Amino acid sequence: MDNILNEIGIENYIFLAVILFSIGVCGVLYRRNAIIVFMSIEIMLNAVNLLFVAFSTYHQDTQGQIFVFFSMAVAAAEVAVGLAILVSIFKNMGTISIDKLKNLKG
């Protein structure tokens, strides 16, 4: 089987991943809604996952894909904990806007 990268080129995947990653970064900065911020972080992680798979193909190596599993596990765990914190905040403050999280400063 021919390596698919001969058609597309690993650079393109890198660029795609970078842009996707950057959109995620942008989202973290742009949005005040904590849930959307979470989502943005997920986008970042997914961008990396995508690149992992691309590299895995590039090297014709399984490990990259294995790592994606771990990365997914981590993402899941993070989201679980993150949402738990979020719920806790919502209970206490009635909002999930991260703009309201400015009590600690200075």
Partner 1 sequence: MDTNLALLLLLAPFLGFIFNIFFGKNIGKTASGVIGTLAVVLSFAATLYFFTQINASQQAIQIQLFDWIQISNFKVDFGFLLDQLSVLWLLFVTGIGSLIHLYSISYMHDDENMHKFFAYLNLFIFFMITLVMGSNLLVLFIGWEGVGLCSYLLIGFWHKNQDFNDAAKKAFIMNRIGDLGLLIGIFILGSTFSTLDYASLQSAIAGATNLDVTTLSIAAFCLFIGACGKSAQIPLYTWLPDAMAGPTPVSALIHAATMVTAGIFMITRLNYVFDLAPDVQNIIAIVGAVTSLVAATIALVQTDIKKVLAYSTVSQLGLMFLALGLGAYEVAVFHVITHAFFKACLFLGSGSVIHALHGEQDMRNMGGLTKVMGITFFTFLISSLAISGIPPFSGFFSKDEILLVAFENNIALWIIASLASLMTAFYMFRLLYLTFFNDFRGTEEQKNHLHESPALITFPLIVLAILAAIGGLISLPTNSWLNGYLAPLFSKEVHEAHHFGATEYTLMGIAVLGGLIGIGIAFYKYIKQKEVPESDENITGIAKTLYNKYYVDEAYDLIFVKSINSASNLFRDHVETGLTSLVFGLGKITNELGYQGKKIQNGSIGLYVLFFVLGLCAIVTYLFLAQ
Partner 2 sequence: MSTLIAIIGLGILCLLLEIFDFRKAIIPISIIGLLAVLGLNISEFNSPEAYYNNMIIVSKFSTSFSALFIVLTIFLVALSHKFHENNQAHISDFIAIKLFLLAGAVAMVSFGNLAMFFLGIEVLSIALYVLASSDRKSIKSNEAGMKYFLMGSFASGIILFGICLIYGAMGTFDITEISELSYSAELPVWFPIGIILVFIGMLFKIAAVPFHFWAPDVYEGSPALTTALMSTLAKVVAIATLFKLLTAMNAEISAEFQTVIVIVSMASMTVGNIMALRQVNVKRMLAFSGVSHAGFMLMTLLITTNAAGTLLYYSSSYALAGIAAFSVILYVCYNKNNEDINNFHGLGKTNPLLAAILTGALLSMAGIPIFAGFFAKLFLFNQTIQAGYISLVIVAVINSIISIGYYFKLILAMYNKEPNEVRTATPFVIYAVAVIAIVLNIALGFFPSLVLDLLA
Partner 3 sequence: MSTVLIIFCVLSAITLATAFLTVFSRSPIHSALYLVICFFSIAGHYLLLNSQFLAIVHVIVYSGAIMILFLFTIMLMNLNEKKEVHRPRITRLGAIVAFSLICIVLILVFINSKPIVGEYTTTGDDYQSIKVLGKVLLNEYMVPFEFASVLLLVAMIGSVLLSKKEKSEN
Chain residues that interact with partner 2, rule: CB under 8 A: 10, 14, 17, 21, 24-25, 28, 34, 37-38, 41, 44-45, 47-48, 51-52, 55, 58-59, 61, 63-64, 66-67, 70-71, 74, 77-78, 81-82, 84-86, 88-89, 91-93, 98, 101, 103-106
**CA–CA separation, 38 and 76 (whole Å):** 11
* Residues near partner 1 (CB under 8 A): 25, 28-29, 32, 98-99, 101-106
For the CB of residue 30, give the shortest distance to partner 2 in the complex, in Å. Answer: 13
**Do residues 28 and 40 make contact, with C-beta atoms less than 8 angstroms apart?**
yes
CA dihedral 86, 77, 46, 70 (to 10 degrees): 170
Q: Which residue has the tokens 């400063």?
A: 105
**SS3 state of residue 101:** coil
41 binds partner 3 per the rule CB under 8 A: no
Task: Give, as ranges, the residues between 63 and 82 that touch partner 3 (CB under 8 A).
Answer: 63, 65-66, 68-70, 72-81
**SS3 state of residue 97:** strand
